Each structure stands twice: as C-alpha cells, then as structure tokens.
Structure 1
Amino acid sequence: MPEQVEVFPMTQQMLDQLSDAVLIIDQYGGIVAGNDTADEILGVSSAVGEHIDQYLKCISLEESNQLTYITHVHKQMIEVTILHASEGDPYYFVKLVLVSKQMQEIREKLDTFATEHFKGTILYVKKNGDIIDADAYSTHMFLYSKQELTSLSIHNLFPQVFEKRQLTKKQVFHELQGVTKEGGLLFVELLQYDLNDTIGVCFLKDVTEQVTNKNRIEYLAYYDELTDLPNRYYFEYVLTEAIENNEEQQFIVVYMIDLDYFKEVNDILGYAVGDELIRLCALQLKKFLHVDTFIARMSGDKFVIMQIGMRNKRAVIEFAKKLIQAFKKPITINGYDIYTTVTIGISLFPHHGTTAEDLIKHANSAMYESKNNQRNSYKIFESAISEKFQSTVTLESELRQAFKEDQLELHYQPQVDFKTNEIIGMEALLRWNHPEKGYIAPSEYIGIAEKTGFIIEIGEWVLYQACKQNKKWQDQGYKPITISVNLSAIQFHQKKFLQKVEHILDQTGLSPTYLELEITETMAMTNEKTVLHTLRELQNIGIPVSIDDFGTGYSSLKLLSLFPITKLKIDKIFMDQSHEENRMIVKSIIQLCHLLNLKVVAEGVETEEQFAFLKAEQCDQLQGYYFSKALPSEEVEQLLLKKNNKAN
C-alpha cells in the first residue's frame, strides 16, 4: 500500500487546500493521494490505498490523456474528470464534482423524455463533442460498452456531419447516418440542445428500418428487383431526357428485346427457373453496357436498350446481330440446358418518332412483327408494321370481349367408322361469331390467344362445353360417342392441368372414356419426361389421348411406342392423292399405327377417291367434308338422327 506522506508530501498539502474533490491515482488505478472532500463524496474516511474501480467505473487509463464522464456514487450523480499529470508521468489527477440537485432533476426528466416520449436514447456531450455519459440503449444502438462510448466523441459516431467542429446551441437531423463499432451503418433522428455553457444533450431515435424501407420503395419505383436493372418508368424518363437534350440531333436507337419461348419455360419448368433465366439474361445484356448505352427491363420477358450516337443504320444492325449472337448458347439452370433466343424490334429517333412513347411503341411493334415472321431475328420499324400491330391489339381486345359476351361457340365435326360409316366420335372446334365481321377464322386469333396466355381460359371453356354437350347427347338417348378436344401447349403443360380436367369431368358427369384429348407432335416431343408423366396420369384416369397432325412434326418411333396414346391423326395435307408420295406416306402411317396397336384417323377427307383409298387401306376413322362440315350442336342432333345414332 503506497504511503501518502512519503510519496506526495507537498502534493498532499496542495490537495488539502483545494475546495474541489481531487484524487491522485497511479497507472494501475491505485489511489495514492486524495483530499477530505473526495473522501466525503466517496463515503470513506480515507480512500488512499484502495483501487479506483472500487468507487468509480473507470475506463482504461491508457485510452486518453484527459477524460470526462458521468457516473453515480451512493445514488449521487458525479461528473468525473481524469487528467494525465504529464507525459511520461505514471500518475493521474481525478476530479470529482457533485452534479447539483437541480441538474440531477433535469437529467432525470431528460432521460424520461428520451425513453418514454422520444422513444430513443440520450447522450451527454461537451461543447467539443466529447461524450461524457450515455444510457444503456445507446450502447445497444452503437454496439459500444458505456466505457467505450464515454471515451469517444460524437464525431466518431457521426463523422460526416460533426467532423471536427463545435456543437451549436440547437441542431436537428431527421435521417443522420451513423457508424457502429463494427463499421455498420445506421440512421437516427437527432435533436441536440445545450444544457449549460459546457454540456449539451443529444436525443437519438433509431430510424434505420424506416429509412431502409423508404430507400427500398424509392429503389423499386425506378429499378427491377429481380435483375437490378432500371425499370420501364426509369427508361422512359432517361429516353425523354436524351431526346430533349439531343442538341446535335444524333441517332437515338431503341432496341426492344423479347426472350423467345419464355412462356414455355415458365409453364414447363416453373416460375423459379423462369426468374433465374430472366436474371441470367439480364447479366448477359449488361455486358453491352457502355457510356452511351442504357439498359432496362420493360416487363416479363422484355428488355429494352437505348443507344445514343450510332453512326448509321449499318451500325445499328451490327449491334442487333451481336445481341442475337450473345444468346446462341444454352443457359444451364438446375441441370436444364435452356435455349432461349431473342427477337428484336428497332426504332430510330427522329425517323420513327420524336417522343419516348412513340419510339418505345414502334420498337415494340417491330419486335412483334419480327416474332410473327421468324423468331431469333430483328426488324427495323416501318409504318406498315404499326398498322398491323394495331390490328392485332384490336383483335385481342375484341376476342376478350367476345369471350365475356358469349360470342364464342363450339361446332362439331363427325368422325365415322370406315367399315360402317357410323358416327363414332366428334371433334370440338372453336368458332367466333363476330357481331359485325361474322365468323372469324381460328387461324386469325388462336395465335394471339396463345401469345397472350388467354388460350388457357379459352381452352378450359372449350373443354367444359364439349364435355357438357356430349353428356347432354347421352342423356337425350343418343348412342355414346367420343368427343375430342384439341389442347394448346400452354394448357397441356400447366401444373394443375390434370386436376382441372378431372374437375370438369366431375362437373359435367361425363365418363372419361368418352373424352379424347388431342396433342400435337411438337407438344409430345417437348420435355419428354413431363409429357410422359402427364400422359400416364391421363391413362390412369381413363382418358384416351391422340397425336394430332401426325406427319408434320418430328416424332420418333421410340417415343410413339413409349407414350400411352391410343390414336394418330393423319394431317390433311397428305390427302392430296395427286402426289404418289402422299399416298405412300398415308399407307406407311396406317401400317405403322396398326403395328403399334394404335387407331388411325384421316382428316380432310373430301372426295370419293380419298374415301375409297382410305377404306382400302383400312384407315380406322375418317373425318372431313365428304361426310360433314363442322356443325353447331342443334344440327349435329339432326345428323345423328339421320344416321340412326339413337341408342336402342
């Protein structure tokens, strides 16, 4: 234990003459001297020989040459100032000041305001920014201990704002960026006031979550979350700015880019794979970014690029070709090699429009025109394209309206047995009876319905109406026949396709045996495992499946023998008997079907010669104008009566 008189004889006399409470401690925190005023505050007869930590929560003495902080001793608020005696000296002066009763009451009110009303925390700071006291919540907010906080300055917590400047009488910050001990960022609402000439108070409320949410909302207003690319609205803004500031009248080019077969990827492999495909395609497009290029995601499977300063149309075309070439290689996702090419529509400023709206619209029109003619290609806008595109948009709108207003109806074309000429089945065919244009050919609107996805809704309606009508004929006493319904690829590859078919059968009461579903060769050859699974499930339900338009696709004998199908339909293009090659193809298909124990149906039978040929070749079922055109349900009933198709 150090001897006060021996070590500090003169110093002790000086301490005793001071009115302030002062201690002297060594570098280890041992109290080596002190006056009566200090002992009185600490509540002891003599603190000499004890350790300072026994009375005060003191930080490491090596952290600062001078330190001020607030603590409590015997429920009294004490302001502690620690001062290094001199450089190289192992001793420190510790000054203790009792905070006045009035100031303590003010502190208590401030603490209450901070926690209960302001819903935040509080720091007490000196004019130079040094922190002298902090509550428990502030230590949680900044991840420092209280001792660590009181060794810091407000400048350390908010370096961007308070960097080395004196605090003013009053400051308010609504979204002040701060730094935690670990270097993390946080945002606070900060109110700073003076308590007296030397000390100020800072109220802090953590608003990090609110700021983060606000920033996210602002981000989502201008960016696409999946690809981190600008969105349509941001693109329109940038394009408008480019047009308005284009004083040199440079070429401004808009490339509308559409991913080919994206809907099929979504329908067959699922939305998660579709999203990943979009993200990877965006990364591929970002490789084309440079100072005069702006890339955005428009919607769904569409991207758009703006270029400024292209020299001529040749340069524009070369860039479009590079974009197409970049998507030649497959993209691998979850073990699937996905070949997704791109189709591009191009518009130029000022040739094809002087506003962002016109340039985007015309690039979009050119893209659809290119897609209709040949995917994996590009097209520069022409005025005729706009007229055609507008016609397509109008037809789509009218089709949706027709669906609502019951303008769609089903006609039924008989399928007859080649031996008896008896009607054994009907193919349900969609007809659109437009109130002004009359009947519109399916070829004009089916493609539009498939591209927009509206074919799913239409397809379900067709399936329901066909099953309902067939059950009605059975209930009216007609001999049971099979009703065949064509499926679109999108409809067939839906995840809940099987459940929907079963639900329709339950609704209508039709036995699965009397419903036949037709898929095309192309559909059958796409994603063979999934198709095989679906076909087997349909077989388990009891629904027969046929391959439609056989001979026009890419079927293999292996798959035909593997798939649980019951029938092939020979496409009507082979019914032209003037070509010997067609006759040989039809013969081969019939023989192949019989070898595989499959029924065969010939479509497009229109002449006596065709009928005789097919009958001689023992084609199981025949369909075409030679027997009957497709008829509305009322006329079908008359035909069934005429053919004596009433059940005995």
Structure 2
Amino acid sequence: MKEKWHGDDEQEAGMMPIHQDLERLPGGIIIYRVSESYEILYANRKAAEIWGCTSGKELMDFLGASMLKAALPADVKRAEMEMIQQFRQVQGGVGNVEFRTRSRDGQIQEVEIFGRVEEDERLGKLIYASVYKKQLARSNIDRLTGFSGHTQFIRRVQDILEMDQDLPDREPRVFIFLNVEGFRLLNERFGMEAGDDCIRLLAELLVHAFPGDPVVRYSVDHFCLLTSKKNVETEISGIRSMVQKHHPEWHLILDAGIYEVPAGEIQASVCMSCAEEACRSVYRDMERDTAWYDSRMARQQAMERYVAAHIDEAVEKGWIHVFYQPVIRTVTDSICSMEALARWIDPQHGMLRPAEFIPVLEKTKQIIKLDKYMVQSICQEYESRINQGKTVLPVSFNLSRYDLLVEDMVDFVDEQAKKYRVPKDMLYVEITESVLMDDRDVIYETIEKFHQLGYAVWMDDFGSQYSSLNLLKDYDFDEIKLDMDFFSTFSDKSRKIVKSVVSMAKRLHTHTLAEGIETEEEYRFLKSIGCEKVQGYVLARPDSYDRILEAMQKRKLPVEMRKDKGLYEKAGRADFLTPGPFCVVETDGESVRYLYINPEYLSILKMLGGALRKKSRIVFCIRWKE
C-alpha cells in the first residue's frame, strides 16, 4: 500500500480490495490522518463530487490534501476544536463534525462528517469517515455571507457561555450587535447588487477582524458576534474605515452595540438582546456610533418586558386612557377636529410616555390590542357625548402596519362606527408614512377599502422618510400631516420647503396639516402660506375631551360646525401663494367677513378706504347656507 491513495486509479493508488469496495459505495467516503492538517489519504468519487470534483485525485489537488483547506475561515477554528475533542481518541472512537466549505466553483455549502478512529501500523491513527452535503433547508446557511443561521449561532454561543462557567480565569467576552443604517436607501440608490456587495464585504471584514469567533447575519442589515478579543471598538472602527476606503460613495453608517457578559450569565438570547438595545440607542445619533450596554438601558429593558407582559391587563383594567389634542383650521381660527392619543397611566409606574410602550407593542406584535381599544373607546365616547348633548368633533386615530397587514382593520373600524352610531365623516384614519414602505399592494387595497366605505385617510409624518413624493404619487390621501421635523429648525430654507409642499398638495387636491407646532411665529407663517390646519403645543397639550374644549373656550377659539366643514375645505384648496391680490371671504349675502387677505389685496383695500368694490378680485366667496 502506498502512503497516499486517491481513489481514481487502482493501479496508481495501489488500492487493496477494500478500497475498490469503497468506490462502489453509494455515499461519500474519506480516509484522513489525525494530524495538524488532517491530511486526506483517500476519497472516493462520491466524496469528490460534493466539492464539485470528478475524482479523488482532483479533490486532493483542490484541497491540497488538507481536510479543512476549503473551509470558511469563520468555521476553521471550531471544526479543529471539535476534531481534537472527538477524533484524537483511542481505537474505535466515533464522532461527527459539521463545517461550511467552498466547492470548486466557489459555492458555499455545509458538509457533515461521521467518522471512526482506527489505528494503522504504518500510517498511524486514521479516521474512516462518511461525508454528506447537507440540504440548504437543514444547513441553514446564509447564502450571501456563508455564516451559519440564527439557530446554529445561538447553539454555539450558548455552548461557549456554559463552558466558560468551568473556567475561573476566563477572558471577558462581549457580544457585539451591528446595524447598517439606511441600508434600504443604499439599495434604492445603487441597486440590490450593491446591497449584496455591502453585506458580503462586512462579513469578510468581520471574519478578518474577529477570526474564529462565531458571527451571524442576524437579519437583513444586522450582524451579531461573540468575542473575547480586546479593543473591540478599535476593530469596529477599522471595519468602518475599510468600507469607506473601498466604497466612499455608499456613505455607510455602521452602528454598534456592545454588551460585556457578566460572570454567571449563560443565556445567549439575553446577552444578544442587551447588545441590540445598546445598538438601538445610537440609531440616528449624529454624535455617537458605538454604545456599551449600561444600567440605564437595563432599566429600559425591564420596562419593555413589563409593558409586553401587562398590555392585556392594561386594556382590561382601563390603564390606557384616550387623550385628545385639538386641530385648528387656520383660515377661521376654529377647532375643526382632534387627534386621539394613547396614554398609559400605570398603578405601579405612573404615566408612561407613548415612546415607552408603543415601540414595545409594535416589536412584540401586540400593537393591534392597543389600536382596537383606541378605536372602540373613541366610538364609545362619541355616543356617550351625543346622548348627553355635549359637543362632538371629528377625531383622527393612528393605525400601525400590523393592523393593516395582519388584521382586517377596515371591517373592525366600520363595525365599531355602526355599533356606536358614529358618522363616517367624524372619523379620520391616520397611516404613518413609514408603514407605507412595506407590502404596498396590501396597504393600497386597505386605503381603497376605507375610501369605498366613505372614510377619509390621512398620511401621518409626511417628510419623515426618504420616499415621501413617491408615496404621494402611488397612494390617494385626503390629507397629509407635515412631520414636526420640518419645524425643528425654523430656518429660511425650511420655510421654503414647507411652502413648496403646501403648494404642491393644493395642486393635488390634498389637504394639509402641520403637527408639532410650538410657537406663534410658526402658526402665523403656516396661516400665511395657506396650510389649512395646525396642531401642537402652541394650542394645547393632549388632555381629556372636556378639558380640551374648556381650554379652547378660554382662548375664545370657537368649535367648527359640522355643516360648515365642506365650505371651509373648499376654501382651503386655494393656493394662498398665488401672485397678485388675493383674499378669502365669507358672506351671508349682506355682510362680508375676510378670512384671509394677502398684503397686495390689503393695500388695495386701504387705497379704496376699506370698501369692497366691484372691481376688486374676490377669489373665493363662501355663502352661508341656513
């Protein structure tokens, strides 16, 4: 017998009859020596085909006789350790090893080897092994990165954490969670291939920076890894620099959250959650791109767990309260509607801000419970006020993406409106702009269904996402609510942008509402450009229905009559920025009240001594209908 066997040519390989029998077996067979390189001595044709080779000799040439030569770098260290633990045993020892490898044509696949240790007088300790190519569904490999899937990652890091318990002098380990900010924008600007290139490059850089450490592509644009390496922030900064060097046009922002595993902690999922929370804390933070998990985040996570566990109780026991914020029609300075806002008044934690419970309910897919409760409460309050003879106003409410994609909220809203006898023009449906980015066909059908039943649908937070104008083109909205970020810096530039948006909306016959308004200056500006409605702290903070109406009465702001709504909405469609003299008036046939006058028209009135002459150009005349 020669020192090595290939398995293709019996004469060349010097095969004994047993090796001829191995050639005839239906599965892949490999014989390799227990050594540093795990040197392959024999491979049959079926084994060679797993790596895309036609013979054992070709496989030997491809692998350079080393079993792990084509293994992915991220798996080499682990596979070596498993081989040492399982196969460097006495005669008859058995074991199995799984690792990812590249075939001759570069495809990533996962193989599983089942072997038995046998002693040979001349060649030493050998492993006789059967080798299988695992099916994709079983192997759970990410095709872009070659990383193992989430389940295998959790299993591996869990094993590491448990083994650490037996090592009193172990090196400190940290979980690192990474997020590619604006990954969707990168795909939109440069195409899906660039997005794939970005993910592959990050995977390669992570393997290079943290060799042998377990890494997983956690979701589309997230990675997670466990390492005992020191100076992890330096390594992460190096990855950012390398991406910038190779692709400066991407302007990539890589957020990082780091969690140091404390002694005694063995729950991998808990550790990953902490690292993810740290990463989330720097999202869209211009001053930080890396954060370590700290006690503040621990308190926040405890609150999130509390919210997720107690939403059913909060709904059942009335801890969720409906607050309202008034909306003012600028042309008349009257209250024309209100927005319903959820407030959680907890017996243990007091008042919870929406930011403390709404994202949690969305993440745990329980937001439907809150939204259904809100719709039902709004309709119940309407019926109760009507029965008591109290003032009522149209109310808008928000729906989440889960409401639209999972539940038939159209039917639910309509059922509640009918049950509590709420007219359809007294309810407005608000859909946040970010919701519209996913499953557009489903969202489009939902909006159309609301319209067919007679409900108005508004786009909330217009301008908060990257594709606002595309959404206006694709969807039919009755009203858009300008995002408050437009007014965070009330500069000349932001004024020009808001002017353009309002003017464009009027040409599309879409009403406008600006939210988050906090100053009289902002209110006067919005009124002057014809923005139809305004909402914000400049008018009132959210409160109960009756307290809001009392506050508005003290400010001498009238409530708009339901019968007048259509008239004022027609007036609101006029472009207040039309060049030349312009005004909006209402008249009962005898007297005239100016609702809006631009400077050019005002100068004409002054010149005419305040009289309304036949030669004056009245763009809108609203007649009272008794």
TM-score (norm 2): 0.50
Larger radius of gyration: 1
